[in-house]
Chains A and B, each alone.
Chain A
Amino acid sequence: MLKVDLAVIGGGPAGLAAALEARKNGIENILIIEREKELGGILQQCIHNGFGLHYFGEELTGPEYAERFVEQVKKEGIAYKTSTMVLDIRPDRTITAVNSTDGLIKISAACIILAMGCRERTRGTLNIPGDRPAGIFTAGTAQRFVNMEGYMPGKKVVILGSGDIGLIMARRLTLEGAEVKMVCELLPYSGGLTRNIVQCLEDYNIPLRLSHTVVKIHGKDRLKGVTVAKVDSNRQPIKGTEEYVECDTLLLSVGLIPENELSRGAGIQIDPVTSGPVVDERMATSVEGIFACGNVVHVHDLVDNVTMESITAGRNAAKYILSCKDTRSVGRSIKTVPGHGVRYIVPQRISDLENIEELKLFFRTNDVYRNALVVVHFGQKTLYSAKRQKLAPGEMETVKLKSEALAELVCDTSCDELKVDIEL
């Protein structure tokens, strides 16, 4: 049994930032476990730029952003194992992992940070009827083929879903000589960042068909075409609007799902809306000594936010290891409650009120709102209120509560719910 103070599951941007922050806070014996051949996670295949504007104040590609953390990890001498898959995590923080050289590895960790990231939704979860030919990929799989392996998944492409990876791939495949015929989005608005719609679609005259979906797949061996149709306000296809589009490739960019099979195995409470662990402001999960950060908690649009969140997790994990104080026994706690127009809030609870220095609430709306107020209520009191020009489900929103607001949380013990509302 290998004994470590901190095991970090996943060597992507979340895991790397968390490990570095823990080291900075005095933790020596750290092990990062990564299933790929290299550290860096999904950033390694994101060769476009636009990363780091918020955190580094400059525009980097995915691999460049990752490299800054990988270099630091190596410089700090933090131990890591690549090509290693974690098979199981127990609530007592024993980990079973496997690779080709060590065989099965049993690790006993004083503390664990979960940073496994997320995976893409597939055709199956969408239930698109029709044939089952080759040529249907999730956008991320196609991205790996093009950017990492050097192969083209296809030449004539339709993209279903306007998530960011789909938008990025529309541009990428166009630059590589493919014809991207259209991007269909089921909802009346895009799920991606505005900057990606402009830079990846509009700049290349790729049509974005809002309120459209793929209703049938044609082609027995390789994809030959898809039928697309307009949908009504209940997202049901409208008869008579069907249109056949010839294509050899269908990319799916229809959402990401935090990957929490290991977390479930460890008995961690999962939020059904985010599909990630329920966490508090320290990124502590419901199981003692297990923290989580990044896309395994909730899907982020910007890696910069992942880094910030992971720094929080790393710092608090270090504090836990050094103090040995149960992360769950912290007296009074406050629940965050999604109010009108809000789909979810992370953190889901605030539990270490005595030591709270700052509080950031990350949330997503359930629809597009213009010139709306974001209001944070605590019982009868309003702790925050600010106007936003536009709120959209595709863009994560942040509210930072000031120290006066935090003082209210600590003092008013009659209330245990912090509610965020969108007010028009």
Chain B
Amino acid sequence: MNYDVAIIGAGVTGAFIARELSRYDLKACLLEKEADVAMGTTKANSAIVHAGYDAKHGTLKSKLNVRGNQMMERISRELDVPFKKTGSLVLAFSEHDLATIKDLYENGLKNGVPGLRLLNAEEVIRLEPNVNPNILGALYAPSAGIVCPYELAIGAVENAVDNGVDLKLECEVRDIRCTGDIFELITGKGAIRSNYVVNASGLQADIISSMVQETEFSIRPRKGEYLLMDKTMGNMVNTVIFQPPTRMGKGILVTPTVDGNLLTGPTAEDVDDRDDVSTSPSGMRRIMEEAKKLVPNLGFRDVITSFAGLRAAPDTGDFVIEASRKVKGFINAAGIESPGLTAAPAIGEYVLELLKEQGLALKPKDNFNPIRKSIVHFRDLNDNDRNELIRKNPMYGSIVCRCETVTEGEIVDSIRRPAGAKNLDAVKRRTRAGMGRCQGGFCTPRVVDILSRELGIPPEEVTKKGLGSNILLGKRG
């Protein structure tokens, strides 16, 4: 198969590039080394749709952040994914902080962020009664919000696949050869030929880029640990609560999630290992200390799980989204650290422009369908709709995950749909089965059973998250 465009990396960036491309009459593939989409930085981050006052005016980050924020409402409607425009607050505790948020305010105005306001302490408390009463003021950004980052990426990939993009999982790119006008990508699943290549490989972006050219940027993995709290804490704050940013990033924040939990983090620690998403006792303690400064009434007792993600931090300080000056047809979409999630839809548009400049013919398809329908979540339906659903498909009457009220019907749908789930964690991300209080204690054996049945593999071959992560190690006896 000869592709017009091959995209490397099915994180949220690659997902939106693929979706943009699927509007046109061309053949594109999306290559992912892991067993599911959204497995890298996309899986573990703060899930914030940033307003756009942070990124320094004039940078690519600032431009794509504000554009991405504007697009998010339409995107979330088209892809049927949750997006809540909660607004955000940057709290100030000192005169120095007040100066910092004033600078952010002015930078935000230049970036074109709508509705920014500097609030006094009283106004902040009215908005957020549970924040530290010692605040002096805050920067309020009403256009900020929250999404589910992996659901956003999954939605975009499903829509892209529906519109003709080939998704290839467990397909790691090991080398890229350029012969004439054609790239040959050597993968774990054979060679793939393509006229254009977009590198959206996140943490691997500098490595992939050096396969075709001398690369002028490098990616530094910067770890961020998080604590996720029980839904009983979900109402502690209504908006995303930041502390004033420092050189290492935006610092530890406290935010509601679209699923109704409370999330706090991240730490920021430069690491060497591009796969190291381990958590640490010092990280967990630090998060809690910092989070309590913002919202004093938090405690470890409410933590239901901890996790870590890696930011793909570029040494250039800005997104690296550009066509290669040396090799025609090769485009980097690299260094997508925060606000990359917000910017992703805008990055999709931007990369398309770059491809066009490189000579890619873009003829719009007549039958592009921008609409993707989410899995029907039983827990969100009213009684009539629930009954109707069970009548049509009795599997919706069988509850598999009792903490999150997830039915067998939803799990089967998550496996059968385009870019469907192939392992336990993939089912979990699509349905929330195993994400509740018991963290899969009850539903794991049942989901393993369903995966085995639907994929036609023995239970021992069912994995947690792809190759080598088998859940069971053989039959008894």
The contact sample of 23 A-B pairs, CB cut-off 8 A, is A96-B383, A100-B394, A102-B397, A103-B386, A103-B387, A103-B397, A122-B439, A124-B303, A125-B304, A127-B300, A129-B279, A129-B283, A134-B470, A141-B441, A141-B442, A141-B444, A145-B472, A149-B449, A152-B472, A152-B475, A153-B473, A216-B278, A221-B468
B386 nearest CB neighbor, chain A only: A104
Q: Among A130, A152, A248, point to the contact of B278 (Cβ < 8 A).
A: A130
A376 to B39, CA, bound (A): 58
The interface of chain A, by Cβ under 8 A from chain B, is 35, 83, 85, 87, 96, 98-104, 119-120, 122-125, 127, 129-135, 137-138, 140-141, 144-146, 148-155, 176, 215-217, 220-222, 248-249, 261
Please indicate the chain B residues that have their CB under 8 angstroms from the CB of A122 in the complex: 305, 438-441
The 10 closest A-B pairs by CB, nearest first: A221-B468, A124-B305, A134-B464, A100-B397, A100-B394, A85-B399, A221-B469, A134-B469, A122-B439, A103-B390
Please indicate the chain A residues that have their CB under 8 angstroms from the CB of B277 in the complex: 131-132
A139 nearest CB neighbor, chain B only: B441
Please indicate the chain A residues that have their CB under 8 angstroms from the CB of B228 in the complex: 124
A220 to B40, CA, bound (A): 13
A102 to B279, CA, bound (A): 45
Please indicate the chain A residues that have their CB under 8 angstroms from the CB of B456 in the complex: none
Nearest chain A CB to B366 CB, angstrom units: 41
Within 8 A of A (CB), among B439-476: 439-442, 444-445, 449, 459-460, 463-476
Are A101 and B394 within 8 A (Cβ)? yes
Are B475 and A132 within 8 A (Cβ)? no
Q: Is B374 positioned at the interface, with any CB of A under 8 Å from its CB?
A: no
Known: A153-B471, A222-B468. 11 other contacts (CB 8 A): A35-B399, A98-B397, A100-B390, A104-B390, A122-B439, A124-B303, A127-B306, A149-B449, A152-B473, A153-B473, A220-B275
A88 to B399, CA, bound (A): 13
Nearest chain B CB to A301 CB, angstrom units: 20
Q: Is B286 positioned at the interface, with any CB of A under 8 Å from its CB?
A: no
We find that the number of chain B residues with CB closer than 8 angstroms to chain A is 54
Are A100 and B300 within 8 A (Cβ)? no
Please indicate the chain B residues that have their CB under 8 angstroms from the CB of A176 in the complex: 476-477
Chain A interface mostly helix, strand, loop or mixed?
A: mixed
Q: Is B391 positioned at the interface, with any CB of A under 8 Å from its CB?
A: yes
Are A120 and B467 within 8 A (Cβ)? no
Q: Is B76 positioned at the interface, with any CB of A under 8 Å from its CB?
A: no
Are B470 and A149 within 8 A (Cβ)? no
A172 nearest CB neighbor, chain B only: B476
Are A151 and B459 within 8 A (Cβ)? yes
Please indicate the chain A residues that have their CB under 8 angstroms from the CB of B473 in the complex: 152-155, 248-249
Query: Knowing A99-B398, A122-B438, A152-B476 touch, does A127 contact B445 (C-beta < 8 A)?
Result: no
Q: Is B63 positioned at the interface, with any CB of A under 8 Å from its CB?
A: no
Are A133 and B476 within 8 A (Cβ)? no
A1 to B109, CA, bound (A): 59
Are A85 and B402 within 8 A (Cβ)? yes
Please indicate the chain A residues that have their CB under 8 angstroms from the CB of B405 in the complex: 87
Query: Knowing A122-B439, A141-B444 touch, does A149 contact B459 (C-beta < 8 A)?
Result: yes
Nearest chain B CB to A117 CB, angstrom units: 11
Are B475 and A151 within 8 A (Cβ)? yes
Contact digits for B103-140, partner A, Cβ 8 Å, 1 yes 0 no: 00000000000000000000000000000000000000
Nearest chain B CB to A37 CB, angstrom units: 10
B400 nearest CB neighbor, chain A only: A85
Nearest chain B CB to A121 CB, angstrom units: 9
Nearest chain B CB to A308 CB, angstrom units: 27
Are B402 and A35 within 8 A (Cβ)? yes
Q: Is B281 positioned at the interface, with any CB of A under 8 Å from its CB?
A: yes
A131 to B468, CA, bound (A): 14
Q: Is B280 positioned at the interface, with any CB of A under 8 Å from its CB?
A: yes
Q: Is B437 positioned at the interface, with any CB of A under 8 Å from its CB?
A: yes
A122 to B434, CA, bound (A): 11
B460 nearest CB neighbor, chain A only: A151
B395 nearest CB neighbor, chain A only: A100
A223 nearest CB neighbor, chain B only: B469
Please indicate the chain A residues that have their CB under 8 angstroms from the CB of B390 in the complex: 98, 100, 103-104
Q: Is B307 positioned at the interface, with any CB of A under 8 Å from its CB?
A: yes
Please indicate the chain A residues that have their CB under 8 angstroms from the CB of B474 in the complex: 151-152, 155
Are B281 and A215 within 8 A (Cβ)? yes
Q: Among B281, B391, B438, B470, point to the contact of A103 (Cβ < 8 A).
A: B391
Please indicate the chain A residues that have their CB under 8 angstroms from the CB of B398 in the complex: 83, 99-100
Please indicate the chain A residues that have their CB under 8 angstroms from the CB of B463 in the complex: 134
Please indicate the chain B residues that have their CB under 8 angstroms from the CB of A103 in the complex: 386-387, 390-391, 397
Are B306 and A124 within 8 A (Cβ)? yes
Residue picked from B390, B466, B476, B477, most chain A C-beta under 10 Å: B476
A196 to B367, CA, bound (A): 67
Q: Is B355 positioned at the interface, with any CB of A under 8 Å from its CB?
A: no
